[in-house]
Structure 1
Amino acid sequence: MADLNKWAPSDVLEPIRRFLEGDLTMPSMRVEQFMDGNALVVRAELPGIDPEKDVDVSVADGTLHIKAEREEKSEHKGKSGYRSEFRYGSLSRSVSLPPGAREEDVTASYKDGVLEVRAPAAEQAPATGTRKIQIDRS
């Protein structure tokens, strides 16, 4: 089972990547990740997004990638005039998969504004105790 108290390389590099790409001023994707049995669970807050059209979830080289496009529009018509506002932008996060996770076993679902991605990891054999190796003299 992966130890989530340790930082993975992608976790350490994420803020650096965001800085270099100039998107630190963009709203970040809020995520939580935890182990549920032998599966890594990543939940991302993505309210108001059409997951079929605006979200891309992919896996490559042991890393989960989540990308989303957000576009919000509002119009206000009144006696004093017309006002229109819009906001748009891209959100993305990358998370290292646990050792033994197979790309074809990763699943994703979306409900009530939350994207949930599950990546089951292969059961690891329990570690055995220390075994002393005898040295033969020739």
Structure 2
Amino acid sequence: MSGMMERLPGWPALPDLFGWVESGFPGGHLVPGMHGIRIEEHLADEKYVLRAELPGIDPSKDVEITVTESVLTLRAERGEEATQNHRTEFRYGVFARSVRLPAGAKGDEATAEYKDGVLTITVPVPEAKAGTRSIPVRHG
């Protein structure tokens, strides 16, 4: 037997599996002509933070961030001109990504900042306070 592992019947090859991570799991919705956005996200200190790689864009003109029914959607469009060896090339692309916000997130209080090609979106998520309440029993 060689040092390489054989693929089991019915199991996807590893490159296909890793492709799902970048593009979303099968069944995800990606509009033709749209590209995914690489993101990282975490929840800590009563805030949800999403960081997205978006180099080469003008955040004031090319980025749209919306929150609808606890789903944050990030859409960016890039138009870029590159000149090399007396040749000019234009590169265009529309990038989109949607994520479900954690329970209790205050999407209407979200903030966004763009620095060094990375867009950081912060959404407050106050800790839910569980209160105790006595419920009287009525006699019928």
* TM-score (structure 2 length as normaliser): 0.69
Per-residue deviation, 1:36: 2.2
Residue in structure 2 matching 1:119, options 114, 123, 130: 123
Report how many residues are paired. Answer: 114
Tell me the residue number matched to 2:29.
17
Q: Alpha carbon RMSD of aligned pairs, Å?
A: 2.9
- Paired residues of 2:35 and 2:96 also in contact (CA < 8 A): no
Question: AA paired with 1:98?
Answer: P
Tell me the residue number matched to 1:45.
53
Per-residue deviation, 1:50: 0.6
Per-residue deviation, 1:105: 1.3
Q: Gaps spanning 5+ residues in structure 1: where?
A: 1-11, 129-138
Q: Gaps spanning 5+ residues in structure 2: where?
A: 1-23, 133-140
* TM-score (structure 1 length as normaliser): 0.70
- Paired residues of 2:83 and 2:89 also in contact (CA < 8 A): yes
Give percent identity, aligned residues only.
42
Question: AA paired with 1:17?
Answer: H
Q: Please give the per-residue CA displacement for 1:24-63, whole angstroms capped at 9, x wherever unaligned.
A: xx54211000012111100001111110010111111111
- Paired residues of 2:107 and 2:124 also in contact (CA < 8 A): no
The 5 Å alignment of 1:101-116 reads 101-116=105-120
